């Protein structure tokens, strides 16, 4: 695939939009992490993004993510896993992803955690995890219901080998995304009473990252606004 001349323009446009939303919110733009969600795109596009200064990449399917991370190991990127995850794949995902955004149940936490007292592999360090909250009525989207979030946070805080970074959501398709992100911010405050270090908020995609920034998002997961349309899945 030949390099896409639009890519650099879109990276710049999104950077500027993120900075302007941060200013609007009275927040320091340097504290926001923009993750480019590169699912379905080839490794060559990720390499171009790295050339444009992007360091954090998001993927949602294990097989595809593992292949890209291996092919691009020379770039020392930070890989974020943002898709739904089966417990039996959890340990494999931890080999390349430093951050998991989609932890939504006890069994997955248990699969990710190390047995009490064990140390993580040298050089890998702890896996950062976000607890994904479901703010819709659609169980197919993944995420724990809001009333189950605190008990999941307690379990995460007690586990070894993982670090509870914060909460994550995908705004419902219908309705005002800002209201959903305001709810997430309240849930984040509740989680911080249990886990004071869990101050991060993973929220905001191509269509709603401004609203997410206004409601305190720290980790933006932006796909098409940067990459252009996704090709069909392989």
Q: Which DSSP state fits 144? A: B
175 to 160, 171, 178: CA distances (angstroms): 38, 9, 9
- Please return the burial class of 96, using the count of CB atoms within 10 Å of its CB with bins 0-12, 13-18 and 19+: buried
Binding flag, residue 206, ligand PLP (CB under 6 A):
yes
**Least distance in Å: CB of 14 to ligand PLP?**
10
In the bound state with ligand PLP, the residue whose beta carbon lies nearer, of 194 and 210, is 210
Q: Contact with ligand PLP (CB under 6 A): which of 49, 111, 205, 212?
A: 205
- Segment contacting ligand PLP by CB under 6 A, of 1-9, 118-126, 178-186, 223-231: 223-231
**Least distance in Å: CB of 119 to ligand PLP?**
30
Binding flag, residue 143, ligand PLP (CB under 6 A):
no
Write phi, then psi, for 198 (nearest 5 degrees): -85, 65
The residues, ordered by sequence, that sit 6+ positions from 118 with a Cβ below 8 Å of its Cβ are: 160, 161
Sign of the alpha-carbon dihedral angle for 147, 153, 158, 159? positive
Helix (H) or strand (E) holding 34: strand 33-37
Contact flags string 73-112 toward ligand PLP, x per CB under 6 A:
---------xx-----------------------------
Q: Contact with ligand PLP (CB under 6 A): which of 22, 100, 194, 222?
A: 222
Calpha distance 87→98 (Å, rounded): 17
Binding flag, residue 219, ligand PLP (CB under 6 A):
no
**Using CB under 6 A, which residues numbered 152 to 171 contact ligand PLP?**
170
75 to 34, 37, 152, 220: CA distances (angstroms): 17, 17, 34, 21
Please give the residue whose beta carbon sits closest to ligand PLP in the complex: 223
**Least distance in Å: CB of 155 to ligand PLP?**
22
| Tokens standing for residue 48 | 């171009």
Binding flag, residue 41, ligand PLP (CB under 6 A):
no
In the bound state with ligand PLP, the residue whose beta carbon lies nearer, of 32 and 37, is 37
Q: Which DSSP state fits 119? A: P
Binding flag, residue 39, ligand PLP (CB under 6 A):
yes
- Segment contacting ligand PLP by CB under 6 A, of 45-53, 85-93, 183-191, 199-207: 199-207
In the bound state with ligand PLP, the residue whose beta carbon lies nearer, of 188 and 194, is 188
58-77: b (≥16 Cβ within 10 Å) or e: bbbbbebbbebbeebeeeeb
List contacts with ligand PLP (CB under 6 A).
Answer: 37, 39, 60, 82-83, 170, 205-207, 221-225
């Amino acid at each position: 695939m030949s390099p896409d001349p639009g890519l650099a323009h879109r990276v710049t446009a999104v950077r500027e939009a993120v900075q302007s939303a941060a200013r609007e919110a009275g927040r320091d733009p340097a504290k926001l992490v923009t993750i480019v969600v590169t699912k379905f795109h080839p490794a060559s596009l990720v390499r171009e993004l790295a050339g444009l200064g992007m360091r954090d990449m998001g993927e949602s399917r294990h097989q595809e993510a593992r292949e890209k991370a291996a092919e691009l190991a020379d770039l020392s990127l930070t890989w974020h896993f943002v898709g739904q995850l089966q417990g039996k794949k959890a340990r494999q995902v931890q080999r390349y992803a430093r951050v998991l955004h989609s932890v939504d149940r006890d069994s997955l936490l248990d699969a990710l955690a190390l047995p009490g007292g064990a140390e993580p592999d040298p050089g890998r360090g702890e896996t950062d995890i976000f607890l994904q909250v479901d703010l819709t009525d659609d169980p197919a989207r993944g995420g724990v219901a809001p009333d189950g979030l605190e008990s999941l946070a307690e379990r995460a805080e007690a586990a070894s080998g993982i670090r509870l970074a914060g909460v994550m959501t995908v705004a419902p398709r219908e309705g005002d995304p800002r209201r959903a992100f305001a709810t997430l911010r309240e849930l984040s405050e509740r989680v911080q009473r249990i886990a004071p270090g869990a101050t991060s908020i993973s929220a905001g995609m191509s269509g709603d990252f401004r609203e997410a920034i206004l409601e305190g998002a720290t980790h933006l997961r932006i796909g098409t606004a940067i990459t252009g349309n996704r090709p069909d899945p392989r």
